[in-house]
Chains A and B, each alone.
Chain A
């Protein structure tokens, strides 16, 4: 509850309509860290035409968002590529969501279909290296559905909160060690 009031307070200090991104950015450091799941972070790539507008509307309605989420404005969800998703995960995010327009309602005709397939591709890529594929997810919504945006963010927050923190760096040495250990094995063979 404290988190909620602080969220609203932080938002009220800004001008109305200044955007949901500002709300999330200012709210996150002040929010008290109650549980371990609150330290997780989710990056949300939001389409300017729909999801970001929905986020803006939900912020104007002062709907509290989970403090873990960071919004990134993209002109279309089709702009998001595998490198965006993977480098977000590699550089600190525990989960990444892409929020685009409803199927068939992309303002650039088929950007969201591209995004859906790219997210599926990254999910398979993650699964093949032993990372939970549900860390990356695609949501679709229209600009007039702020509750749907909030529900998507909360669902993503719940999913990521239930997962352990994404391990990075520590496993990297295992990977680089692996070839040399096989090389050592082949050296030892003759």
Chain B
């Protein structure tokens, strides 16, 4: 369910302990950045603020994009004139909105899969919780103790 601006601002102020189910029960979210088109719908749909549009862009996303996509066309043009492989991430000017790498914070992720349903490019994959045991095993105990110590937030 998309959040309002006010709701998003409130979530931004919450500590990580306010997400007790993060990393415990939900799906494991797997992002395929090379397929991402930068539309930001995952960030708009995310109920916990785990996905957001970042301030930087990784040019390698253009090089790895599918050839028939817009980013792929851009990558092909860049590849034709490139002297070497991209050196690293670049800062993005304020008015460029599409060419931003999505920042995904798995400590806030509830694993609800809202981003998977919102993604038009099939760039996000949700793995079933049982398949996600190895990554969740490390994250789950920390999240649970945090939530029990911070009793104030149910």
Binding site for B on A (CB under 8 A): 82-83, 86-87, 89-91, 113-114, 116-118, 120-121, 124-131, 166-169, 171-172, 174-175, 178
Contact = CB atoms under 8 A, between A and B. Distances in A.
B74 A171 contact: no
B80 to A, nearest CB: 4
Given A83-B77, A168-B80, 20 more contacts: A83-B74, A86-B77, A90-B76, A90-B77, A117-B96, A120-B93, A128-B88, A128-B90, A129-B84, A130-B83, A131-B81, A167-B81, A169-B80, A171-B83, A172-B79, A175-B63, A175-B79, A175-B82, A175-B84, A175-B85
A90 B80 contact: yes
B81 A125 contact: no
Contacts of A127: 90
B142 interface: no
13 contacts: A82-B74, A82-B99, A89-B81, A90-B78, A117-B93, A118-B96, A121-B57, A121-B90, A121-B93, A121-B96, A129-B87, A131-B82, A171-B84
Closest 4 CB pairs of A and B: A130-B83, A117-B93, A117-B95, A129-B82
A89 to B, nearest CB: 5
Q: How large is the interface on B (under 10, 10 to 19, 20 to 34, 35 or more residues)?
A: 20 to 34
Given A83-B77, A117-B96, A124 B82 contact: no
B5 interface: no
Contact of B81 (A83, A90, A114, A178): A90
A130 B82 contact: yes
Contacts of A116: 93, 95
Interface of B: 57, 59, 62-63, 70, 73-74, 76-88, 90-96, 99
A83 B70 contact: yes
B81 A166 contact: yes
Contacts of B57: 121
Contacts of A178: 85
A40 to B, nearest CB: 14
A131 B62 CA distance: 16
B59 A128 contact: yes
Contact of A124 (B74, B76, B91): B91
Contacts of A121: 57, 90, 92-93, 96, 99
Given A83-B77, A168-B81, A175-B85, A129 B59 contact: yes
Contacts of B95: 113-114, 116-118
Given A82-B74, A86-B74, A129-B87, A117 B81 contact: no
Contacts of B73: 83, 87
Contact of A89 (B63, B76, B77, B84): B77
